[in-house]
Amino acid sequence: MAIQHTSIHGTIFKDMRSSLRIDLGRKEEVHKMSWGFYAQGKPSTVANKAIAEIDVKRCDGAEEIARIRVMEAINELCYAGCNSECAIKVEASGSAYTENGVQISNQLKLNFETISAK
């Protein structure tokens, strides 16, 4: 199973990975999905980068919905959660594992940090 990495302005995203497994002659669909987001700078710059991510499909199903909601939350926090002149760093990632359409596991991490208040 190949993992593709795409670099976008210093941000590394792991593209969705999927595989097909055969078990006793029965085909099971197994999907492993992961995504990541990193941005640093003034809140408006980070917010714009998060909004741009909404239009780029990275996953499927519930994981894609969660990723989009996180990007929307990052946008909101950038404007409501800090002054416009500070510098912030935002890191977010998530992954999900589904088997035959049933979500087996998932994780979501979000770190929003002020790195310079002036």
Tens digit of each residue's pLDDT, the chain (118 residues)? 333 333 333 333 333 333 333 344 555 676 668 899 999 999 999 999 999 999 888 887 778 888 999 999 999 999 987 888 899 999 999 998 888 878 788 899 999 999 987 6
Q: Which residue has the tokens 């097909």?
A: 20
Q: Which pTM value belongs to this model?
A: 0.69
pLDDT at 112: 94
Burial of 15 (0-12, 13-18, 19+ CB in 10 A): middle
> Nearest to residue 90, comparing CAs of 30, 50, 117?
50
- What's residue 30's pLDDT? 67
